[in-house]
Structure 1
Amino acid sequence: MNIENVYAGNLALAFQRISQIIQRYNYISIDTEFPGYFKDSFELSKQLNKPLQSSTTFDVFKNNINNLKLIQFGIAFSDANGNSPKPAAFQFNFKFDIERDVIEPQSRSFLKESFNSSELERLKYEGICPVNFSNYFLQSGLVANANLKWFLFHGNQDIGYLIRALVFSDIVTQNELKERINRMFPLIYDIKTTFGWDFGLNALSQQEGVGREGTEHQAGSDALLTLRIAMKKKEWGECGIYWGNDM
């Protein structure tokens, strides 16, 4: 398998390897898995038992990211010619309890389809502590590195969850979030803007003849597929994240 699973026990080793990998493989894509998206902040507020402001679309966006747990973070690597290291991707699995943690109701069954029972048990007992993930990530050479090019696919939530995990403080304003993204990941491309908004990742991969490794809707597999599409097309549009109405 070209995707390495990372839990608490091999977290330090994974980041040691990543620090070496990025010396040669500086094209990177990311993907995340999280417990759904509450379009109605009132429903999220009831589960959290606390008030939430929800007057704008961005309020709803940040309410989700500030209050839900990151389940998986996937990161994949390539050089400028599309060659990948081994493993080509790492899949970081965070501490998460599907029975106790906040989940958007319709996403519970989806998560149980995406993760088998043994995987859910490992998340509960062997998952990564977010503080440890942040510490290793910030020291790895991945942040504020002008030699790295980052790719996402409709990735506003992916980058939002990553920024939230790294700085360990709530997202407050859209401008603040944009400033952090620009500072921490100066060359970042959302490739979905290149192809228009009619394509999902799987449909686009089939159109481009790019095969998937791993399981759909798991972060390592989706990150690797995103990167392979990006490296095949090499048409990335302008730097930046899409901040449309469908956040």
Structure 2
Amino acid sequence: MNKDGWCDCFVVLERKRKRSKERDIGRERETKRESDMALPCSSIMTRSVWSYNLESEFELIRSVIALYPFISMDTEFPGVVFQSHPAFRQPQNNYAVMKANVDGMHLIQVGLTLSDSHGNLPTFGTSNRFIWEFNFCEFDVTRHPHAPHSIALLQRQGIDFDKNRKYGVSIVRFAELMMLSGLLCNNNIQWIVFHSAYDFGYMVKILSQRFFYMQPFLPPNLYDFLQLVKFFFGYRVYDVKHLIRFCPNLHGGLDRVSEYLGLDNSARKSHHAGSDSLVTLHVFNKIKTLYFNTEMDLPKHAGVVYDLGMP
């Protein structure tokens, strides 16, 4: 797509975002703002999103996004079929391997957790707190490329691929509603992720395909990819995997970091995108309190995608 075409797309997307924001004005604000951080995990409910409730769930998200602008995200996908070579771990090489995997596979789940600056989650006037888990219909385990051990792990954790095929969300419709929700191209939103190259890889792939009429492939080079991440998700992106490099004794994956920090994950459904997005938020809030104390400690790390760098 030429420069003028990209600019036209940006203008259209910005107009959609502004119209969405205008519709949000005047919505009822929630009044119950107790912190969920000290509540038992049983009070946090996952809102499973399928084709039949996709629109209504995005309406709920849109109604509270102004109050809960801190959003953590996680994805589940069919594993990795192309592996990187230990001798080639530079950002451009990492991107090439990630692109090869994302281009050839399909997204399975996206998890979103919305919170305010104190870690409170939406309640919608109930005694529960809510997070979201979107299930997609495109992946067919009998036809599409995947890593068998990754699929077996997801099945052991309770993901039903037949149900996803029958009742899952269309990627195209999800991309449309993501844009109209106000979640994207919104400088008031802060995104929180953990080792996010593949998370953003799949999201950029589906969003670019829908709004820039691109083929379902990532850009050929890392720079263009990072520019798209910045365009859709803004400058306030925090990859916790990058942040823990500056936290003494913290290393490893999400489970290990969470355990070291003493977080209670007893009710967590591991390798479910919704639950993992919640744990990502809790880890972020914990290390922010422990290791990033001054006003400028955290912002200087914004925009870095672990293993890929920043725009």
TM-score (norm 2): 0.69
Contact 1:149 1:188 in 2 (8 A): yes
Q: Distance in 2 between matches of 1:85 and 1:157?
A: 27
Contact 2:154 2:271 in 1 (8 A): no
More divergent stretch after superposition (210-219 vs 73-82): 210-219
User: Cα deviations across residues 158-204 of structure 1 (Å, max 9, x unaligned)?
Assistant: 11111112122421221111001111112101011221372211111
Counterpart position of 2:225: 177
Matches within 5 A, 1:208-247: 208-212=261-265, 213-234=267-288, 235=292, 236=298, 238-239=301-302, 240-243=304-307
Counterpart position of 1:199: 252
Ranges in structure 2 where 5+ consecutive residues have no aligned partner = 1-43, 85-91, 124-128, 293-297
Deviation of 1:208 (Å):
1.6
Ranges in structure 1 where 5+ consecutive residues have no aligned partner = 42-54
Matches within 5 A, 1:65-104: 65-86=102-123, 87-95=129-137, 96-104=139-147
Deviation of 1:244 (Å):
5.1
Moved beyond 3 Å, runs of 4+: none
RMSD of aligned Cα (Å): 2.0
**Structure of larger gyration radius:** 2
Tell me, yes or no, if structure 1 residue 19 matches structure 2 residue 62.
yes
Aligned letter for 1:18?
A: I
TM-score (norm 1): 0.86
User: Cα deviations across residues 87-109 of structure 1 (Å, max 9, x unaligned)?
Assistant: 43100000132222221233232
RCO comparison, higher one (Cα < 8 Å, 6+): 1
Quote the sequence identity (%).
31
Match of 2:200 among 159, 167, 170: 159
Aligned letter for 1:91?
A: E
Matches within 5 A, 1:112-127: 112-116=155-159, 119-127=160-168
Partner secondary structure for residue 8 of structure 1: coil
Size of the aligned set, in residue pairs, is 230
